[in-house]
Structures are given as structure tokens and as C-alpha cells.
Amino acid sequence: MGGQSIDAGAAPIAYTARLDANGMLDAAYGFGGAYRYPGGPGGSVLRSMDVVGNGRLLLGVARLETGGVSETLLRVLAATGRLDAGFGRNGRVVVFYRPADTVVDGALRTITAGTRSGSSTSVLVQRRYP
């Protein structure tokens, strides 16, 4: 599961967590059952989360500045909940669109799609990752 934590007076922080069969945090995932994604001074927001094979997750995380979004990062987590360093550069790829959905094609490439706003239009963008 994923979302963001919001503490009074603090910026939101995106996170993912895994529960065991009893509904308790699975301590083998991430760090004590959860993995947090601190962002910029304005925090971070989880934009998308999709399973892409072998228990891996592809996340779209917006890193926020105090005035708004500064960049969106795609991150792949291994089944353990830790960053997959083999994806992109050190487990992350900076994209210039807002991820909305992800699929895996027949060649096991990850395809993301989303929107990018311009001065007067929104554009659908698609990108493939090996």
C-alpha cells in the first residue's frame, strides 16, 4: 500500500508499506515494514504505484518545493521494499510528466503514461524502460 504521511506543521512524505497475512506491518519490507520518500522542502507525494514483475514496484513520486512540484521521480523497488539500483541511475529516473499508469509489455519492458501541462494544453506522454 502507499500514500503519504501528514504531520501537523510538517510537509507530506510519500511512503509505501507491506502488510503480512495478519494485517500487521511486514518487518522484512523496507525499513520496519515501510519505506519513506522524503522530497524537497515541500515534501513528496506518491503519484502512481504499479507492480512491474518479480514483486517489484514502479513508483511515481513528486518531489515538492514550497511553491509546487519541482520534479517527478520514477523509482523501482525490489520485492524487499528497497530501491532497485539497477533501474535508471541509482534506482531512479527523473521524468518531466505526471505518471498516471504503468503496464508491462510482452518483452517485459515497463511503459509509463501520464500528462504534462504546457502553457495552454496537456499532452499525453509515454516512455518505455527495459
Task: Kindly indicate the confidence band of residue 121, based on its pLDDT and cuts at 50, 70 and 90.
Answer: low
CA separation for the pair 84, 53 (Å, rounded)? 13
pTM beyond 0.95: the answer is no
Average pLDDT value for residue range 93-112: 69
Average pLDDT value for residue range 43-57: 80
User: For 25-44, what is each residue's pLDDT tens digit?
Assistant: 899 888 888 888 877 777 88
Task: Kindly indicate the confidence band of residue 125, based on its pLDDT and cuts at 50, 70 and 90.
Answer: low
**How is the chain split into domains, by residue range?**
2-96
With a CB cutoff of 8 Å and minimum separation 6, the contacts of 40 are 63, 64, 65, 66, 70
